[in-house]
Amino acid sequence: MSNFQIPNSLIPDNDAERIKKLRAYDILDTPEEDTFNKIAILAAQIFNTPIAQVTFVDEERVFFKTNISPLAATEINRNDSFCSIAILNNNVTLFSNILEVPELQSNPFVTMENGVRFYAGAPLKTTEGLHLGTVCVLDVEPKEVTEQQLKMLETLSAIAMDELELRLATRKAMRTQTDMMNRIVHDLKNPNTTISLSAELIKKKADDPKVVTDFADRIKRSATSVLNSLNNLLDLSQSENASFRLNADEVDVLQILEQAKNNFELIAAQKQQNVIINCNCSSVIYADSIRLQDAFENLLSNALKYAHPNTTVLINVTTIDNDLLIEFKDQGQGLLKDEMSKLFTKFARLSAVPTGKEHSNGLGLSIVKMLVELHHGKVWAESEGKDKGASFFIALPVH
């Protein structure tokens, strides 16, 4: 007999939330895995059944992650699956003899030759209480089972859920590591370019002590920037887990912008570009100078990279309400309306292309967004359209 009253609808009220959570685990349509296979095998041994499965109930189907059964299948229709019923129950769903359950007597897996007569399924429960699927056993003969067997089935479903959580945590860790490495490589490109250009100019002007001293200082600053980026590798990783802390102090934003401009002087000169900073207000705020410089240099790098040769990049510093507003305004290729929503996302691909064959990996703006938001600031862009230039704004709280 059934220990669970079958409702009229097999769709729970939280089904949209449940399916969203299920897909976050990225388990649907994946091949068999040894851990889930062993869980199903153990369930079959405990209940002495010919069929055992690890299932996940999707929107219109039930996917078999493991299917130990004479019937080879990877999915069935959700309406025909006993697991669609089991996810409605907080406990193990048990049908000792399905022929005694009127609602299931017309089920195609019951009416078929050697049809199912016994079913027990324990739901796979997330920490939020959502039921994603089951660990279940089936037989073609009615069967009486013990309470201990049912508890063991619940334990197996908990083990399967632990494996799902482990897979998700591993993927997140790998994604964090990949993002971290992409960011650090991105941050190392600009100082390395400065080092390379400075070294070339030193070779050409080796007889001029003043030029040698000047470019040697630039190399030293760029090398220090590289070292800082490497030292901050762990910090970037920690920021993904909200444990990152800024090293905040009273800083002068104008001085940081001047330093960024100086670091990009050689790069701008390659395309005969000019950088002008306008500031007619107090630019002292409480912030992390290294992080701000990272954000400013990313925006300045983009402005120079996507602007045409022989143009000017304006950096305007003003105050509005209680914010310090920094605008990076270029005379470049502009932005299309449908591109605005893609800005500040990782690996965004836009219509604009670097005008000097520079490399772009689509990470710069996402890094800017992260750094600015850590300062409780805002970042956005404005453009009148294609080939009409663009302005990128950073608003930072003064207090």
Domain locations along the chain: 15-171, 246-399
Cα–Cα distance measured from residue 345 to residue 106, given in angstroms and rounded to the nearest whole number: 51
Give the H/E segment covering residue 298.
helix 289-306
Range with the lowest mean pLDDT among 99-103, 231-235, 300-304, 381-385?
231-235
pLDDT of res. 393 = 96
Kindly report whether the global pTM for this prediction surpasses the value 0.85.
no
Beta carbons of 198 and 212 less than 8 angstroms apart? no
**Taking 80 as the threshold, does the pLDDT of residue 123 lie above it?**
yes
Please determine, looking at this structure, whether the domain spanning 246-399 carries the CATH number 3.30.565.10.
yes
**Taking 80 as the threshold, does the pLDDT of residue 176 lie above it?**
no
Cα–Cα distance measured from residue 62 to residue 76, given in angstroms and rounded to the nearest whole number: 5
Phi, psi of 55 (to 5 degrees): -120, 155
Query: Angle 253-263/209-231 helices, nearest 10 degrees?
Result: 110
Greatest CA separation for the chain: 100
Beta carbons of 50 and 96 less than 8 angstroms apart? no
Number of Cβ within 10 Å of residue 27's Cβ equals: 21
Range with the lowest mean pLDDT among 11-20, 88-97, 229-238, 260-269?
229-238
pLDDT of res. 390 = 92
* Structure confidence at residue 1 as a pLDDT band (50, 70, 90): very low
Beta carbons of 140 and 50 less than 8 angstroms apart? yes
In the three-class reduction of DSSP (H, G, I as helix; E, B as strand; rest coil), residue 382 is classed as strand
* Structure confidence at residue 336 as a pLDDT band (50, 70, 90): confident
Q: What's the CATH superfamily of 15-171?
A: GAF domain (3.30.450.40)
Beta carbons of 55 and 81 less than 8 angstroms apart? yes
Close Cβ partners of 57 (under 8 Å, ≥ 6 residues apart): 22, 78, 81, 83, 84, 87, 131, 132, 133, 134
Beta carbons of 60 and 68 less than 8 angstroms apart? no
246-399 and 15-171 share a CATH fold: no
Output the CA–CA distances (angstroms, integers) from residue 233 to 183, 189, 221, in the order listed.
Answer: 9, 15, 19
Give the tens place of pLDDT for each residue, 236-261: 454 444 445 678 899 999 999 998 89
* Structure confidence at residue 147 as a pLDDT band (50, 70, 90): very high
Give the tens place of pLDDT for each residue, 58-102: 999 999 999 999 888 899 999 999 999 999 999 999 999 999 999
